[in-house]
Structure 1
Amino acid sequence: MASYSQLCGVFAMLWLLLGTFILPVEAFDGGDAAAILLGMAVTVVGFCACLGWYARRTNGQL
């Protein structure tokens, strides 16, 4: 099993790699803002779900 610092490093490198493929946009309208807010909400809910799963797994409840 990889350590926590190794996993953080892998995710950071993956984030940086994927960030290079995103092109800058010239116009930013309401639809883009709604998509960003929805994406942020889904990301936060997903992160909390993973954190809860990890907490239950480490406490032996799963």
Structure 2
Amino acid sequence: MAFPGEMYKLLTAFASLFFMLPVAEAMDEGNTIALLLGVVITAIGFCACLGYYARKRDGLH
């Protein structure tokens, strides 16, 4: 588990990278679909990893 100081450093690094991203001038339907698909795939991947961890911890896998 991360200590508060380490978590603050990590959050600061992510925030600085986020604010350095270029601003999109226009967002059409293709970009919206790609963004939503990316969010869905990321959520499914996160849940899969969480399930794998839970099974491994309980000794079922």
Aligned counterparts of 2:27 and 2:48: Cα–Cα separation in 1: 31
Among all aligned residue pairs of Structure 1 and Structure 2, give the percentage whose two residues are the same amino acid: 37
What are the Cα deviations for residues 3-60 of structure 1, in whole angstroms up to 9, with x where unaligned?
Answer: 2xx18x3764564354244211010110110111110111111011011011101101
Which has the greater radius of gyration?
2
- Does 1:27 pair with 2:34? no
For these two proteins, the number of residue pairs brought into alignment is 57
Aligned counterparts of 1:57 and 1:14: Cα–Cα separation in 2: 31
Partner of 2:24: helix, strand, or coil? coil
Unaligned runs of 5+ in 1: none
Aligned counterparts of 1:14 and 1:57: Cα–Cα separation in 2: 31
Unaligned runs of 5+ in 2: none
